[in-house]
Chains A and B, each alone.
Chain A
Amino acid sequence: MVLAKAASGGLGMPNLQVAPVPGHPGLQSKEVLQRNVREVTLAGVVDNLLKLPAQVAAAGEPGARDIICSGSFEEVNEYFIAHELSDGLPIVPPTLEKVEAFLRFTDLKPEEVLGVLLPDSRAATVWSVAVNGVMAGCRPEYMPVLIALVEAMAEPAYGVEHSGNTPGGETLIVLNGPVIKQLGFNYTQGVMRDGFRANTTVGRFWRLYLRNVAGFLPHKNDKATFGNTWRVVVAENEDVLAKIGWPPNCADFGFNAGTSALSIGRYTGGNHISSVSGATPEALLPYIADAVVRQYSWQIMFTVGQGMGTLRPLILLSPILAETIAGGGWSKQDLKQKLFDHARMPAREFERILRDWTQKPIWNLAEEHEAGRIPSVFHESDDPNRMVPIVFKPEDYMIVVTGDLGRNSCYVFAHNGVLGYPVAKEIKLPR
């Protein structure tokens, strides 16, 4: 009910009514659900269809450039926390002087709108990017990265409006290009650890912007069951890529190697895979493919169901793993193909997760295939033990080379499908 109220307000219908179903339908017997609908929901539905709610006026808000608080560092921080404008950590007070310093690192005008972000339907202005960048502790020269991030956030295919959904997935930003070294991003050991200013503050900016401009506040529009803290930026090791002849992650999105660009995608979890051992790619593959399958449970609804081919598993490979795989003659595309061929689960497990365990309206793969909604690889026979892939095509896999130079590990992320689909943007430096 709180979410419905917050979301309808952002859409310009703050008086839109809802008809509640008591409790959670997923945990009720058929009889209890029917009784709840008859005794509670029905009255709400009839009421909402026949009675027009009273009009509600929009609440007043400050202007885009208004000073909302004057005081000491502590007073400003207390004000921002009290007004739900902060993530709980101390923020750098966004003063005019600091915001203008950020604006000097873009050719865009401050009032330029990069997109309109749901659920609050606020304009993603260059000005607001600078204000939140200051707050996050970024350096002014990070501004082109922040602008590209917000452009990606506003890309419809990404689906920012889903950022407050039940699984509470968090976005991972992957960075490519000369900006990695120019701005001092960590791309080696501990790449996902905080402690490196560029990686850490840009990651924090993402969450602050989701909160302040998109409107994802916990207990309101952000309904993550548990949630995650924001992730630091992962930069790819392009020195290693050049050595082994693999294209960077941004090339998957159409950007040439050497372009400064970033991609975003939402992930509900992930796992570090230790001690990946073997002298050849053939020897390494079974463990990696097995690790990929083990990350995916309910998320296969994004392959067949809610998402239909939108699952994009992301695998971080440590440099020596990538070097060993490439040394065996495999290209990055070869690895994706091998993962498609080998990271599979029995069809009966696929159907059990969707039909029996999560009550998604997918009853069997044969029916989906016959309806033309999924590729034929999912129904090559009626054998329930046949092995089926977890994605539609090899290109759905994303491979990023980063992390400690000397360790044989990978990291597999559980993707959130259409509710955070990977998109990428070029980072444009000021002229």
Chain B
Amino acid sequence: MTRSDGAQYQALWPRSPRQAKVKSLAKRLDTLEGKTIGWLWDYVFRGDEVFAQLEESLKARYPGVKFVDWGEFGNTHGSDEREVVAALPQKLKAKGVDAVVSGMGC
């Protein structure tokens, strides 16, 4: 960029304060044996197949692990996503879910 008229500018910050403060993540499980895992899916990128394979592999490693299918919760990335996400705390509690795996991103 070529030099111009020599005028000086004091430029302001164009962003604004973040409203989300850093949160602590949920406590992790000590084992998956005997625990219930819920799958949350956004209905893209073959999550149904990915979760099915994960279930099979986890079951082989932790025979007592249980799962709650993604279909129980609804699409987390669609026209009713806000309602689906808002309903999650109650649904997860009602189904005795100890941990969730949410997918799929890209």
Contacts and interface: CB of A to CB of B under 8 A. Distances in A.
Interface in B32-67: 32, 37, 43-46, 48-50, 53-54, 57-58, 61
Contacts of A73: 4-5, 7, 9
A45 interface: yes
Contact of A306 (B24, B57, B77): B77
A382 interface: no
Does more than half of chain B's interface fall in helix, strand or loop, or is it mixed? loop
Contacts of B13: 62-68, 131
Contacts, number: 199
Contact of B4 (A69, A74, A128): A74
Contacts of B58: 42, 45-46
B39 to A, nearest CB: 11
B4 to A, nearest CB: 5
Given A25-B104, A50-B32, A34 B11 contact: no
Interface size range on B against A? 35 or more
B12 A38 contact: no
Interface size range on A against B? 35 or more
B21 A49 contact: no
Given A74-B1, A122-B19, A135 B14 contact: yes
Interface string A197-233: 0000000000010001100000000010000000000
B20 A121 contact: yes
B78 A61 contact: no
A66 B12 contact: yes
A13 interface: yes
Nearest to B49: A33
Nearest to B48: A361
Contacts of B99: 49
B49 A360 contact: no
Nearest to B75: A306
A37 B45 contact: no
A411 to B, nearest CB: 26
B74 to A, nearest CB: 11
A72 B45 CA distance: 49
A360 B104 CA distance: 13
B90 interface: no
B72 to A, nearest CB: 15
A132 interface: yes
Contacts of B15: 61-62, 85, 122, 128, 212-213
A306 B54 contact: no
A260 interface: no
Given A49-B99, A68-B11, A55 B46 contact: no
A235 interface: no
Given A45-B54, A74-B3, A122-B16, A307 B79 contact: yes
B89 interface: no
Nearest to B26: A52
A94 B12 contact: yes
Given A49-B29, A52-B27, A418-B78, A128 B16 contact: yes
A14 B22 contact: yes
Contact of A13 (B1, B23, B50, B57): B23
B17 A74 contact: no
A406 interface: no
B8 A72 contact: yes
A30 B105 contact: no
Given A49-B37, A122-B17, A166-B106, A67 B12 contact: yes
Interface stretch (A16-24, A239-247, A334-342, A345-353): A16-24
A30 B49 contact: yes
B49 A132 contact: no
Interface stretch (A4-12, A176-184, A261-269, A283-291): A4-12
8 contacts: A49-B32, A49-B101, A57-B22, A70-B11, A78-B1, A122-B19, A223-B106, A360-B43
Given A19-B101, A85-B14, A121-B18, 18 more contacts: A12-B21, A16-B25, A25-B49, A37-B53, A49-B99, A53-B25, A57-B22, A65-B13, A68-B11, A68-B13, A69-B10, A72-B8, A121-B20, A122-B15, A131-B13, A132-B14, A306-B75, A361-B48
